[in-house]
């Protein structure tokens, strides 16, 4: 910093004068110079630092997905409002189709939920009727079970099993008899007789098994009718209970989940579509434009520098820990641009960084100064001499 260099040279000259004075007189003691701060800390009664003019805010803008630039809707220097589209990528048709499909599903899911709520009363009354029908069916099945003659069933089943066993024995005998002649010519009389007897025995055995199964199935049917009627009655009662205070809870949860999923899908589709555009994050100025229509860009590639130039600030980054302790927010500041040495601008400290940066062994802190004066000749990046008034001791 130029001012710090001047102050340093002044101290060096003074030190040289002291040394020459000491060499000229043996009786004069050599003075000692000690300081806990740099020479730049106090210059003209102030803490002084280099600064740089910056806007109130600035942002590097980029596309979140790569592609070909379709449109650039602004140019450098344009002042735009928040939300204005600055640039847009090509190939939007598929993204628009995805949004349309997601919107259709979201509408359908909302309609299904609305219908479920709208017809809640009707569904409850239907559930009551279904319960009444299920209860009647259960008692009919229970009566049939009570009327079922178990003794007769067991007798009939025993007889059927005995008949099946007898027919099975006759079938086995017929098979043995046929096997005696199986290798003979098909037209052999003994073979033909044995084959006829075997077919008859097989048919009789099949009939016996069928009769036995019919008897067993009568029991199974009556018993299953009771079990099924009981299960249907329990389900009808559960459904009626679930609908007494509104839509069926399970159906309502499913409909709500569907709607939430549809809305999430719609949001994702809209976000993907919006990612094809760069919009102004706040009211501001297009400070720098690094793309043109037809150019291909990568995801995350900086293409526009956007800034709020409505307020100029000055940032310093070379104030050391010994200097920063003498500063506080709202302290008065005088700023002189290096390019405009006759211009003095007033300002106040807006903020002092809590975190440090180490530069060439020094611990430094960033200070932001809000200018209360301005000048149309100021430009982003200009260097300044920034003087902070020392607090009264």
Rounded to the nearest 5 percent, the helix, strand and coil shares of the chain are 50, 25, 25
CB atoms within 10 A of CB 96: 12
pLDDT value of position 10: 38
Q: What's 43's DSSP letter? A: B
Pairing label, strands 79-80, 85-89: unpaired
pTM of the model: 0.55
139 Cβ neighbours under 8 A, 6+ residues apart: none
The pLDDT tens digits for 293-310 are 999 999 999 999 999 999
User: CA-based angle 216:207:159, to the nearest 5?
Assistant: 50
| Confidence category of residue 317, pLDDT binned at 50, 70, 90 | confident
| Confidence category of residue 26, pLDDT binned at 50, 70, 90 | very low
Name the region of 85 (left: φ>0; alpha: ψ -120 to 50; beta: rest): beta
The pLDDT tens digits for 327-359 are 999 999 999 999 999 999 999 999 999 999 998
Q: What is the DSSP string of 237-292?
A: HHHHHHHTTSS-HHHHHHHHHHHHHHHHHHHHHHHHHHTTEEE-SSSEEEEEE---
Q: What is the separation of C-alpha 380 from the centre of its chain, rounded to a whole number of angstroms?
A: 38
pLDDT value of position 43: 42
| Confidence category of residue 84, pLDDT binned at 50, 70, 90 | very high
Question: What's the residue count for the chain?
Answer: 393
The mean pLDDT value for 5-34 works out to: 39
Gap between the Cα atoms of 107 and 113, Å rounded: 10
| Confidence category of residue 102, pLDDT binned at 50, 70, 90 | very high
| Of 33-42, 177-186, 217-226, 232-241, minimum mean pLDDT range | 33-42
Question: How big is the chain by its Cα radius of gyration, in Å?
Answer: 49
CB atoms within 10 A of CB 28: 11
The mean pLDDT value for 37-55 works out to: 68
């Amino acid at each position: 910093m130029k001012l710090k260099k001047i102050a340093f040279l002044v101290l060096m000259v003074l030190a040289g004068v002291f040394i020459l004075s000491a060499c000229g007189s043996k009786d004069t003691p050599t003075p000692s110079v000690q300081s806990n701060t740099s020479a730049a800390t106090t210059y003209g009664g102030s803490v002084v630092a280099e600064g740089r003019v910056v806007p109130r805010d600035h942002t590097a803008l980029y596309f979140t997905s790569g592609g070909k630039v379709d449109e650039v809707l602004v140019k450098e220097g344009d002042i735009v409002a928040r939300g204005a589209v600055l640039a847009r990528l090509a190939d939007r048709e598929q993204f628009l189709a995805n949004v349309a499909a997601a919107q259709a599903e979201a509408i359908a899911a909302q309609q299904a939920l609305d219908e479920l709520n709208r017809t809640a009363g009707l569904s409850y009354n239907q559930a009551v009727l279904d319960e009444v029908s299920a209860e009647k069916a259960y008692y009919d099945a229970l009566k049939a079970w009570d009327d079922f003659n178990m003794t007769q069933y067991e007798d009939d089943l025993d007889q059927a099993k005995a008949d099946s066993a007898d027919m099975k024995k006759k079938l086995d005998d017929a098979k043995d008899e046929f096997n005696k002649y199986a290798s003979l010519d098909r037209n052999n009389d003994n073979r033909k007789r044995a084959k006829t007897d075997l077919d008859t025995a097989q048919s009789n055995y099949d009939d016996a098994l069928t009769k036995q199964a019919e008897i067993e199935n009568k029991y199974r049917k009556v018993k299953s009718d009771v079990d099924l009627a009981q299960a249907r009655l329990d389900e009808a009662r559960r459904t009626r209970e679930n609908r007494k205070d509104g839509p069926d809870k399970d159906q309502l949860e499913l409909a709500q989940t569907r709607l939430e999923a549809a809305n999430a899908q719609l949001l994702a589709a809209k976000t993907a579509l919006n990612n094809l555009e760069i919009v102004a994050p706040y009211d501001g100025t297009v400070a720098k434009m690094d793309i043109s229509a037809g150019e291909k860009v990568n995801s995350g590639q900086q293409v526009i520098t956007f800034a709020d130039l409505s307020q100029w600030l000055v940032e310093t980054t070379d104030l050391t820990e010994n200097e920063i302790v003498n500063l506080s927010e709202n302290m008065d500041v005088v700023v002189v641009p290096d390019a405009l040495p006759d211009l003095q601008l007033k300002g106040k400290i807006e903020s002092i960084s809590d975190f440090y940066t180490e530069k060439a062994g020094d611990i430094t802190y960033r200070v932001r100064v809000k200018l209360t004066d301005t000048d149309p000749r100021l430009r982003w990046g200009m260097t300044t001499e920034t003087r902070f008034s020392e607090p009264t001791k």
